[in-house]
Amino acid sequence: MLKIFLHQLNIIWSQIVSLWLVFLHLFHKSDTVEYPDVKPHMFPRWRGRIILTRDPDGEERCVACNLCAVACPVDCIALQKTEDEDGRWYPEFFRINFSRCIMCGFCEEACPTHAIQLTPDFEMAEYVRQDMVWEKEHMLIDGTGKYHDYNFYKVAGKAIGGKGKGEALDELPPTDRRSLMP
């Protein structure tokens, strides 16, 4: 009997405590953010809308290597390699189906050129699902994004317009194939 009584008392007490704590909140600073009037602060590493960036020379960074596409767990990236007359690879088209994308950031991790980057922009709702299919022209920005200095073609051995054989970082001039000297 006594046990039941004490139990009931305990319940009532806990409710009083709860009410008191709620009452105290009247005097706290509000946590609610008045979105969309007030925008939250997003950190640069947040994984939102995906962009394609340019290298420090202003050229498209993406070399159409397909690594982001293969890393994507939902397979929502499709692209096709093409090249310019000087041999520089770039994507002929580059498409992300954002209605499938889970913002995991694997593509960014896989990208050897820092071309594809996730940004803190999360406002991606659309009324029509078809509008969530983005092409290169929708994603390609003018800047370098989060990584300012890297320029893949300056490191790679492949010659492109403006950079011949032996002109990449840490390269010797091309060898002479007619020479028999070691």
Partner 1 sequence: MVKITVDGKVLEVDESKNLLEEILSQGEDLPYFCWHPSMGSVGSCRQCAVIEYANDEDERGRLNMACMTAPREGARYSIEKAAKFRAQAIESIMINHPHDCPVCEEGGECHLQDMTVMSGHNYRRYDGKKKTHTNQYLGPFIGHEMNRCITCYRCVRFYKDYAGGTDFGPQASHDNTYFGRWQEGPLESEFSGNLAEVCPTGVFTDKPFSKHYVRKWDLQTAPSLCAGCSVGCNTNPGERYGTLRRVVNRFNDEVNGYFLCDRGRFGTGYVNSDERITVSMTRSAHDAAPHLASTDEARSQLQAMAANSIGIGSPRASLEANFALRELVGAENFYAGISTNELAMSRQILDIYRSRPVNIANIKDIEASDAVLILGEDVTNTAARLALALRQSVRNLGKKMARDMKFPEWQDAAIRQLTMDRKSPLYILSAHATRLDDIAARVKIGTAANSARLGFAIAHEIDSSAPAVNGLSADEKELVTTIASALKEASQPLIISGTGAMSQALIAAAANIATALNGADKKANLALVSAEANSMGLALLMESSDNSLDQAMASNAKAAIVLENDLYRRAPASSVDSFINGLDQLAVLDSLKTRTGEQANLVLAAGTFAETSGTFVNYEVRAQHYYSVFKPVDTIRSSAFWLSDKKLSELTQGCADSISGGAGIATLTPGEGFSVSGMKVPRQQHRYSGRTAMRANINVHEPKQEQDEEGILTYSMEGVSALKDATVFNTAWAGGWNSNQSVFKFQSHTGAALKQATKGHCLVENSVSEKTWSEVTDAEKVTGDFEVFPLYHLFGSEELTANTEAIKAKATSAYIAINEADASKLGLQASDGVSVEHNGAVPYIIRSSIAPGTVGIPVGLKGLNFRDLPAAISLQKATDWATPSEWHAANIIVSDKTSVNAENGGEA
Task: Quote the least distance from Cβ 65 to ligand SF4, whole Å.
Answer: 4
Q: Which amino acid is at 97?
A: N
Q: Which does 81 bind (CB under 5 to 8 A by kind): partner 1, ligand SF4, none?
A: partner 1
Task: Quote the least distance from Cβ 138 to partner 1, whole Å.
Answer: 12
- The residue among 33 and 70 lying less far from partner 1, judged by its C-beta, is 70
- The residue among 40 and 87 lying less far from ligand SF4, judged by its C-beta, is 87
Give the DSSP H/E element, type plus range, for residue 14. helix 2-25
Task: Quote the least distance from Cβ 111 to ligand SF4, whole Å.
Answer: 3
The torsion of the CA quartet 133, 68, 93, 49, rounded to 10 degrees, works out to 40
Task: Quote the least distance from Cβ 104 to partner 1, whole Å.
Answer: 14
| Largest separation between any pair of C-alpha atoms in the chain | 106
- The residue among 30 and 130 lying less far from partner 1, judged by its C-beta, is 130
Facing residues of 82 across strands? 90
- The residue among 97 and 120 lying less far from partner 1, judged by its C-beta, is 97
Q: Which of 106, 96, 7 is nearest to 47 (CA)?
A: 106
CA distance 171 to 169: 6
